[in-house]
């Protein structure tokens, strides 16, 4: 078992840092804003090189073949603790375009003991397929509302990609009426069955669905703002990729914080804070910012009606799941960008870099909003009205009577 677990560890530690430590933080009912000027980078599949000394692709290939190098047989994590595969993760919407590859990536995590897959149909086949993968976690399937409570019992992390995908010509706002109701009902079940779990919201429009989830949890009397996350990791993944390509940088070293929200102009990459430091012309800043903001549409158009960004979203969501699991398991050096309840701006929810710990959100990184360029400051002010409207729309939906919300 140790060898098998270590093999998985070498394959899957998506998007986390093993470097700088933050100063001590005092947990509060709301996350403490901190000034943190030396923030580590988050760059994808890193543990392969840290464990085996090889590049990610070759180590990935070896792992898929089932071979284990001598350097990979240790049961130590890259961040210095023994691996403890004892966490239960539930994916709600596991049979969908995001849910299937996301479930596969989570199955590969050495920290997961049990993987619960839920959907309204077609999930049994997904679970059967994944159960044949020789990684330690056990897979169970749950179909329909009558089995949802059992799916959520004692779960540590709930991931919600459920909903309809975006099609050509659709904005994230077009998805609202359908996906808002789905998220509302699923979060109600989470509140009833695993109120202490970390909740990862993927269902779009995230700018509105996270506030919906918060209102549902408040009504149930179990809202903990430190455990509710809008998954905006894909914006960071895209920013890192595009900047690496544009500036010919080694991708594993690139980190671009992305703040704001998770739709259109509310997505604001802070190119001035790129690590390693890079110089951008005004034209490059404009082009990169717009491409990162519209990258979802780029995929929707390329698929020509056949779907939206499913594979990259699954990768990004798996990275955030792994970071959450590492934090739960005692790693004190886990940072990601996420859309959370925040006091960084005058908006109640805002995406920024955060520190994760055993109890969820420990701190928001205040320094990312300090020293912005004129372009970034103007873009930040420009995104606020749209993000504010999306938040208010979500809150209003959650507070409508059930009959009105269904219409």
DSSP letters along 213-224, please? Answer: HHHHHHHHT---
Ordered per-residue pLDDT tens for the chain, 407 residues: 433 333 333 344 444 433 333 333 333 444 555 554 444 443 343 333 332 333 333 333 333 323 222 223 334 444 444 566 799 999 999 999 999 999 999 999 999 999 999 999 999 999 999 999 999 999 999 999 999 999 999 999 999 999 987 676 766 667 788 899 999 999 999 999 999 999 999 999 999 999 999 999 999 999 999 999 999 999 999 999 999 999 999 999 999 999 999 999 999 999 999 999 999 999 999 999 999 999 999 998 999 878 889 999 999 999 999 999 999 999 999 999 999 999 999 999 999 999 999 999 999 999 999 999 999 999 999 999 999 999 999 999 999 886 555 55
Predicted confidence at residue 164, as pLDDT, reads: 85
C-alpha to C-alpha distance for 405 and 407, rounded to whole angstroms:
5
Predicted confidence at residue 341, as pLDDT, reads: 98
Residue 344: CB atoms within 10 A of its CB come to 17
Structure tokens at 360: 């969820």
Predicted confidence at residue 306, as pLDDT, reads: 86
Q: Running DSSP on this structure, what letter comes out for residue 394?
A: H
The residue among 266, 268, 265, 269 whose CA lies nearest residue 278 is: 269
Predicted confidence at residue 402, as pLDDT, reads: 67
Predicted confidence at residue 80, as pLDDT, reads: 47
Predicted confidence at residue 401, as pLDDT, reads: 80
The proportion of the chain whose per-residue pLDDT surpasses 90, expressed as a percent, equals 71
Q: Running DSSP on this structure, what letter comes out for residue 275?
A: B
Q: Is the pTM of this model over 0.75?
A: yes
Predicted confidence at residue 119, as pLDDT, reads: 98
C-alpha to C-alpha distance for 17 and 222, rounded to whole angstroms:
31
The residue among 377, 373, 381, 370 whose CA lies nearest residue 35 is: 370
262 is catalytic: yes
Predicted confidence at residue 32, as pLDDT, reads: 54
Predicted confidence at residue 34, as pLDDT, reads: 55
Helix 374-398 to helix 206-220 angle, to the nearest 10 degrees? 50
Predicted confidence at residue 93, as pLDDT, reads: 98
C-alpha to C-alpha distance for 67 and 53, rounded to whole angstroms:
15
Beta strands in 231-344 (DSSP E): 258-260, 267-269, 334-341
The residue among 212, 209, 204, 208 whose CA lies nearest residue 313 is: 204
From the list 116, 132, 200, 262, the catalytic residue is: 262
């Amino acid at each position: 078992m140790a060898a098998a677990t270590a093999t998985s560890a070498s394959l899957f530690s998506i998007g986390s840092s093993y470097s700088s430590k933050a100063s001590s933080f005092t947990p509060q009912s709301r996350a403490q804003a901190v000034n943190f000027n030396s923030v580590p980078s988050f760059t994808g599949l890193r543990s392969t090189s840290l464990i085996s000394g090889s590049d990610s692709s070759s180590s990935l290939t070896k792992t898929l073949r089932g071979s284990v190098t001598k350097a990979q047989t240790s049961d130590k994590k890259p961040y210095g603790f023994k691996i403890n595969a004892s966490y239960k993760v539930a994916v709600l919407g596991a049979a969908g375009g995001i849910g299937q590859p996301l479930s596969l990536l989570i199955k590969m995590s050495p920290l997961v003991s049990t993987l619960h897959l839920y959907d309204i149909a077609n999930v049994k086949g997904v679970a059967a397929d994944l159960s044949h993968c020789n990684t330690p976690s056990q897979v169970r399937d749950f179909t329909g509302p009558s089995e949802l409570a059992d799916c959520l019992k004692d779960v540590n992390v709930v991931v919600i990609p459920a909903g309809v995908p975006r099609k050509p010509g659709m904005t994230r706002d077009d998805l609202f009426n359908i996906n808002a109701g789905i998220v509302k009902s699923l979060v109600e079940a989470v509140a009833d069955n695993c109120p202490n779990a970390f909740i990862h919201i993927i269902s779009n429009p995230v700018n509105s669905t996270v506030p919906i989830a918060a209102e549902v949890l408040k009504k149930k009397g179990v809202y903990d703002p430190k455990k509710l996350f809008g998954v905006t990791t894909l914006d960071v993944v895209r920013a890192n990729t595009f900047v690496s390509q544009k500036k010919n940088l080694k991708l594993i070293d690139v980190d671009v914080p992305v703040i704001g929200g998770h739709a259109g102009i509310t997505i604001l990459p802070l190119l001035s804070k790129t690590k390693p430091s890079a110089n951008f012309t005004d034209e490059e800043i404009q082009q990169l910012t717009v491409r990162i903001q519209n990258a979802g549409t780029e995929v929707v158009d390329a698929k020509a009606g056949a779907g939206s960004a499913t594979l990259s979203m699954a990768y990004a969501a798996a990275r955030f799941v792994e970071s959450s699991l590492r934090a739960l398991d005692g790693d004190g050096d886990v940072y990601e960008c996420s859309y959370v309840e925040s006091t960084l701006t005058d908006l109640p929810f805002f995406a920024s870099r955060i520190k994760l710990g055993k109890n969820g959100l420990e701190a928001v990184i205040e320094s990312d909003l300090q020293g912005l360029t004129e372009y970034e400051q103007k873009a930040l002010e420009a995104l606020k009205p749209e993000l504010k409207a999306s938040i208010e729309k979500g809150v209003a939906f959650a507070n409508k009577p059930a009959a009105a919300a269904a219409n």
